[in-house]
Structure 1
Amino acid sequence: MRALLIEMAWTWLRYQPGSALTQWFNQRTQGTGPNRRARRIAIVAVARRLVIALWRYLKHGVIPEGAQMKPL
């Protein structure tokens, strides 16, 4: 389950570049350079925050901040 959530977080970063979560990740990992460990730790935090944001969307209809929704 954890691996799936982390993949979902990487996908979120790729397809939602203007979201608050992506901006948080970029600020958090800016300046780490080749330090891959810091990015791996931060992506777990993004995955956790993303699960919370998506739960709020399902439960209350609150769209995650900065997320771009495509029309159906």
Structure 2
Amino acid sequence: MMVGERVDMLLTLMKRAEKKEASLQLINLAETIMGKLPKDEWTILDDYINDMTDHLADEGTYLYSSGFTDGIWALKFINSL
């Protein structure tokens, strides 16, 4: 299971590298659109994006640490056999 997760992570990194240019274009387009918004609407949208980013970061940290803890538990279990 841990090897599978590692393979998935490496594949994700590879796909990210391939999509980096498209992502940069999308970011530039989004910044251009946001720049045309009135200040109050820009602030609302910026707060929303920041909140979503924080949520995803917290989720990723939780999942990573849980996977690490599960891996330690699995090793201890295997060693106890």
Task: Give TM-score scaled by structure 1 length.
Answer: 0.39
Which has more radius of gyration? 2
Bigger relative contact order, structure 1 or 2 (CA pairs below 8 A, ≥6 apart): 1
Task: Give TM-score scaled by structure 2 length.
Answer: 0.36
Going by fraction, where is helix more abundant, 1 or 2?
A: 2
